[in-house]
Chain A
């Protein structure tokens, strides 16, 4: 079992729909990242969370530390949101920190 599990693996939705992507992890973490990867490879950090909830524009990320679960929500989705969304958890102690990634959720928004 992977340390970081994402669901769904693929998601297709109509423009304007509310999107939810889920991430569950099994290790102790110091932070959780939501990342966006467009075709061509570059990764952009959307959020870094250690507790609670963060909002940036149409994107909202939440984390429940007790349940080891995080969600990424996109409101009023748009075709330009089409990308792979990756959850990554930061673990380890000072000098030995690392990121462990989920396999990603491929989101396609249809106009």
Chain B
């Protein structure tokens, strides 16, 4: 089992561009959550997808959007990139409602906006 895989691992974009990050959950997991981690900070919750719907959202603008596919994989899209969007973007997968199931994290995508 490959666990949670994210792609790409590193990305450099120019301010104003759009970016798409991808996440494949651990086998057997149906829920994908996305987090933004600025340098020196803890991860901040962006949103969570379950049954192909956005179920919860953190305090992020509409420039941040996502999608979940029938195979449970997910994408995070960020439009009109700002310098402040530079961060490590982490994906976590879990099994919804399985109280004693751990969440598993990908290695993250490091996005640099220049």
Interface-facing stretch out of A14-22, A63-71, A74-82, A94-102: A94-102
By the criterion CB–CB under 8 Å, are B88 and A41 in contact? yes
Tell which of B14-22, B39-47, B73-81 binds the partner. B39-47
Residues of B within 8 A of A99 (CB): 33, 35, 45, 92, 103
* Residue contacts A-B, CB under 8 angstroms, 23 given: A31-B100, A33-B102, A33-B103, A40-B107, A41-B37, A41-B108, A43-B92, A43-B108, A45-B103, A45-B104, A88-B43, A95-B51, A96-B48, A96-B55, A97-B31, A97-B94, A97-B97, A98-B48, A98-B56, A99-B103, A101-B42, A101-B45, A104-B42
Instruction: Write the nearest CB–CB distance from B110 to chain A, whole angstroms.
Output: 7
Q: Contact between A92 and B56 (Cβ–Cβ < 8 Å)?
A: yes
| Residue B90 lies at the interface, judged by CB distance under 8 Å to chain A | yes
* Count of residues in A whose CB is under 8 Å from the partner chain: 28
Least CB separation from A102: chain B residue: B42
| B89-113 interface (Cβ within 8 A of A) | 90, 92, 94, 96-97, 99-100, 102-108, 110
Kindly list chain B residues whose C-beta atoms are within 8 Å of the C-beta of A13.
Answer: none
List residues of A whose CB falls within 8 A of some B CB.
Answer: 4, 30-31, 33, 35, 40-45, 48, 50, 86, 88, 90, 92, 94-104
Report the nearest A residue to B99, measured CB to CB: A30
Q: Assess A45 versus B100: contact at CB under 8 Å? Given A98-B56, A101-B35, A101-B42.
A: no
**Which of under 10, 10 to 19, 20 to 34, or 35 or more describes the interface residues of B?**
20 to 34
Are B107 and A103 closer than 8 Å at their CB atoms?
no
**A94 and B33 in contact (CB under 8 A), knowing A41-B88, A45-B104, A102-B42?**
no
Cα-based distance from A20 to B37 in the complex (angstroms): 24
Instruction: Tell me the minimal C-beta distance from B67 to chain A in angstroms.
Output: 18
